[in-house]
Copies of this chain bind each other. A is one copy, B any other.
């Protein structure tokens, strides 16, 4: 795999920050630690490739990673942009099936890398580790299901609004000012619309006091945008309800 990496020693404390790892017995943590390392990768590093057998399981600690599906003609569909802390294609690593997605670093990123074959051997003899993986897969499933709800119940403009709201993490009161972490072409694929619809969506959001200059975004009225973006066409509270469930779920598993 063509990753230029710098590898570092991994502490058990770092392992415990991964989804579902807290609470593992110390000898199991030690066994996982022995097959793990910390890596830093540059932008565009491929962490796993669609069609290839899994060699490693990666957990994103810092940075961003895109998950995509490429077509025979070279076109690429973006499935998701992962934020820390998340496992990458856990499903295929634990079952040993070929990756169904390609994961690529969208910026310089820091990850935990576990070797896949000895990890599967460990899962086979340590039920607590299997449970950890089940929890990780559940989180992945919840996230993808949220996306289905989003795509079914919201317009592209509302989905864009929701995306901007998720980025407004350091909002000052009702206002936020930030840069888009992805270019607009990628954003269109992520939202699930064409480039020209994305431009139209940004234009529509001006009515919710959303101002843009290139990749800089200013939300002048977060409450108003939230009201607009969460107003599902058919089921006003469904998606936010699921989001609450996902949060409760994360809390229950002591995720970050």
Contacts and interface: CB of A to CB of B under 8 A. Distances in A.
Q: State the number of copies, please.
A: 2
A253 B100 CA distance: 16
29 contacts: A69-B149, A69-B242, A70-B235, A71-B236, A71-B241, A73-B236, A77-B152, A79-B145, A91-B141, A92-B138, A94-B134, A97-B138, A97-B252, A98-B248, A100-B142, A100-B145, A100-B249, A123-B127, A123-B134, A125-B127, A127-B127, A130-B134, A133-B134, A137-B138, A137-B141, A140-B141, A144-B145, A151-B151, A194-B234
Contacts of A234: 75, 77, 189, 194
B130 A71 contact: no
A171 interface: no
A214 interface: no
A16 to B, nearest CB: 19
Given A75-B235, A100-B245, A151-B152, 13 more contacts: A69-B241, A69-B242, A71-B241, A73-B235, A94-B138, A95-B138, A123-B131, A125-B127, A130-B131, A134-B137, A137-B141, A194-B233, A194-B234
